[in-house]
Structure formats: structure tokens, C-alpha cells
Amino acid sequence: MFIEPHINKGGWIEVVCGSMFSGKTEELIRRLKRARIANLSVGIFKPSMDTRYHVESIVSHNDNMIGAIPVLASHEILEKSVGFDVIGLDETQFFDQDIVIVCEKLADLGKRVIVAGLDMDYTGKPFGKMPELLAIANYVTKLHAICMQCGGTASYSYRITTNKDQVVLGEKDHYEARCRNCFKK
């Protein structure tokens, strides 16, 4: 379980990762709402390519939502985060290669940076810049889903369509959460 730091003179980076349907966005929204309850100013960003649920919000599979600013490039986050104490990023695996530098700069400016994203792609390989963010994060939370084949603990996103592109936006029509054994079958 994640325990929010109560005294920290500088900024830090938190990563929430896991497979599809593990609750990453739900956890991100929960942390951002708690920050608002604490009267902290919150800036929320998402890649503009992610239009699955809403163009200007992040939405969990449980239909919880919170407004977000879509950006084309990660450097825009630096420009648009002035005045915010807490920065939330969803679908972080889709940001460009500069996202690690951006997160480090934000933390160095004293901001709490909370990123959520897939740690592995549909082939089980590290996804985007998430491995680097995991390495530099001050706090890491790995969430798990329920295997849609056997009911076990799932940490893989299995693509049920034949498309071989690394990035295919989709939901239950394209993906299943699977445990290690069911993923490898």
C-alpha cells in the first residue's frame, strides 16, 4: 500500500504501473483528488492521442473521471505546469522520449509528479519510457488485474486482435488481462 509522504522539502516522482484493467487510472485519480482535498493545486495531463473515453479528461474503467489537458509533446507539460503543486500524467507510456527529463525537471522544481502507465506492451516487453521512470521514481506502485482466462493475478496485457503495431488504442475489444501462465500459452 502506498503511504503519501507527509514531509518532503523537495519534489518527487511516483509511478503507478501495471497491466490493462489493473486500476492504474483509478489510483491516479484517487491520489489527485486527495491532493485537491489537501488544498494543493493540481495539473493533469494526458497524451493528445488518447481519445478513447474523452478528449479533455482521464477516465477509469469504473467511469471515474477528472479533467486533463491533452498535450502533443511532453515539453508542453513544463510550460503548462506553472503554478501547480502536483502534476498527474496518465497513459505515460505514450509520451515521447523527453518525458523522463520533464518529470525530473518538475520534481526538481519541488513538484509532486504522479505518473500512471503500462509497464509492458502487449508482447510483454517494457513499454516506452516507463522503465526509465520506474528506475528514477521515489515511489513505485505496481497494480494487478484479474486474469480473464483463469481468475489468477494478472500482470500482462494480452492483445486478442491480430494487429501487430505496438500502439493500438482499445479496451476489452482488443485486450485481456492475463497471468503469466495464460499469457504465455
> What amino acid positions are annotated as catalytic residues?
91
| Residue 59 contacts residue 169 (beta carbons within 8 Å) | no
Alpha-carbon span 111 to 155, nearest angstrom:
30
Number of C-beta neighbours around residue 138 at 10 A: 15
How far is the C-alpha of 172 from the C-alpha of 46, rounded, in Å? Answer: 21
How far apart are alpha carbons 119 and 103 in whole angstroms? Answer: 16
